[in-house]
Structure 1
Amino acid sequence: MAKGTLVDGVICFRCRHSTTPRTNIDAAGLLQRFRSEYGTATVDTKEVTEMLNAVDKDFEDYETEILLLQSRILYIKTQQTRLKEHAVDLRYLNSPIRKVPNEILLRIFDYACYRNLLQEFPWSEEFKFSPSTPVVDPLKHLPAMSISSVCARWRSVALSASAIWSRISLELSPENSRLQDRRFVLSGFS
């Protein structure tokens, strides 16, 4: 590239052909004209207008090319992200837990779900006593719900195990436990 020129040509990313700009950016030549030519008689306004039109068209072409390239970059980055996600999914297919038989999973779930505590939240501060076990981490106190939310296979195995669902404890604040509506609703669970 010669000094003072921005680009000798742009490679079209679609057809891979070089496009030649309409404008020759010759800063030295323009500087020479600024220094040597002055007055209205020395400047050909038609020539300058044509050069400005060519500059505008080149500028529009570059803007279009930039937008196309940015669009292409965005598409490629999106594809790259999708490939990374797909690779993670494929790695899950090879994970050791997928090789564990359902019977073993069932035993693990049964062991993990020795107690499920479903508690009213938030517990009313007006009462002098607090719940038997303050539930800070619901996943820890509702293992059956947590396990059944992992994936379709685990959900199927967990739902087939009546033992883990029969150990659910329900704690209500004393105020709500006395309500007739609550007793009526809960009577179906006894």
Structure 2
Amino acid sequence: MSTIPPMSEKLRSVIWCIRPEFAEINEILRLGLKDLDDYDTEIHELQSRILYTNLRKKRLEEHLEKLRSLKAPIRKLPNELLLHIFMFCCNQDELHQGFGRPKLNALAISAVCARWRDLAESRPSLWCSLSVVLSSSEEEFEESEHAIVAMLKYYLAHSKDWQLSLDINADVWWEEAEGIDHPALVLLASQSHCWRDLSFN
């Protein structure tokens, strides 16, 4: 019965494999390929377990972080003191159309948690001091025009007819408007009975 020499010798040999060895080589190849498939399956299972374990770890970390936040000193402050801090932060919110970064402190405060939202919405004076910057009335600014009007409506709804302090800058828009009424100005004009201070540039 013939035996297959060591692989290193077979690879160095210039003699072709004899035919009786082919069947044995094919069987070894078949078994080897099966082992490779088994390894791939095992690796995939291990990777899935690692992914699942990392997900559980992340969820636990998030849960622990939320628990830690319950111990935050700011949660011990009474509502009256929190509102005083909010008033200091909301001296004047800024709404920009098309350019610039808006400063929406009242909106940001109301988005922190349910308690802060309830407090912010209960105090109309947080929403009544606004700086409004209007840009060109050209077509590319239509989307931002709708956005600033929507935000104005949101602020006016929360101000609940409280006296408004407005600083309006419409230089860029006014130069190109050609007599067109800006919807934000129309909206603010409809609230003229609530104006306390008005600055128009």
Q: Per the shorter chain, which TM-score range?
A: 0.5 to 0.7
Name 1:184's counterpart in structure 2: 186
Query: Which of the two has higher C-alpha Rg?
Result: 1
1:109-148 equivalences under 5 Å are: 109-122=86-99, 138-139=102-103, 142-148=104-110
Counterpart residue number, 1:24:
none
User: In 2, distance between residues paired with 1:119 and 1:33?
Assistant: 79
Per the alignment, in what secondary structure is the counterpart of residue 191 of structure 2? coil
Residues of 2 paired with 1:39 and 1:116: CA distance?
86
The aligned counterpart of 1:132 is: none
How far apart are the structure 2 equivalents of 1:85 and 1:109?
Answer: 27
Matched, 1:105 2:46: no
Is the counterpart of residue 149 in structure 1 residue 75 in structure 2? no
| 2:49 corresponding residue in structure 1 | 72
Task: Report the counterpart of residue 126 of structure 2 in structure 1.
Answer: 164
Q: 1:53 aligns with which of 30, 34, 42?
A: 30
Bigger share in strand = 2
Look up the equivalent residue of 1:138 and give its one-letter code.
P
Secondary structure of the structure 1 residue equivalent to 2:111: coil
Q: Tell me if structure 1 keeps the 8 A contact 2:92–2:129.
A: yes
Identity value in percent = 37
CA, structure 1 residues 119+60, in 2 after alignment: closer, same or farther (shift >3 Å)?
closer
8 Å contact from structure 2 (residues 120, 126) kept in 1 = yes
Q: Which runs of 5+ in 2 are unaligned?
A: 131-165, 193-201
Q: Do the aligned residues in 2 keep the contact of 1:113 with 1:144 (CA within 8 Å)?
A: yes
Query: Structure 1 segments of 4 or more deviating over 6 A?
Result: none
AA partner of residue 102 (structure 2):
P
Shift of 1:115: 2.8
Is this contact kept in 1: 2:96–2:102, CA < 8 A?
no
SS where residue 91 of structure 2 aligns? coil
Residue 57 of structure 1 deviates from its aligned partner by: 1.0
Does the residue aligned with 1:52 lie in a helix, a strand or coil?
helix
In the alignment of these two chains, the number of paired residues is 148
More divergent stretch after superposition (158-167 vs 36-45): 36-45
TM-score normalised according to structure 2 size: 0.60
Deviation at 1:172, TM superposition (A): 3.7
One-letter amino acid of the counterpart of residue 171, structure 1: I
After TM superposition, the score normalised by the length of structure 1 is 0.63
Cα distance change of structure 1 residues 70 and 164 upon mapping to structure 2, 3 Å threshold: same
More helix by percentage: 2
CA distance in 2, matches of 1:81, 1:59: 33
Q: Deviations over 1:133-175 (max 9, x none)?
A: xxx6533xx4322322322221110110122223332414141
Cα RMSD, aligned residues only: 3.1
CA deviations 1:84-110 (Å, max 9, x no partner) are 222222211111111212121112112
The AA in structure 1 aligned to 2:170 is S
Aligned CA distance change for structure 1 residues 55 and 181 (closer, same or farther; 3 Å): closer
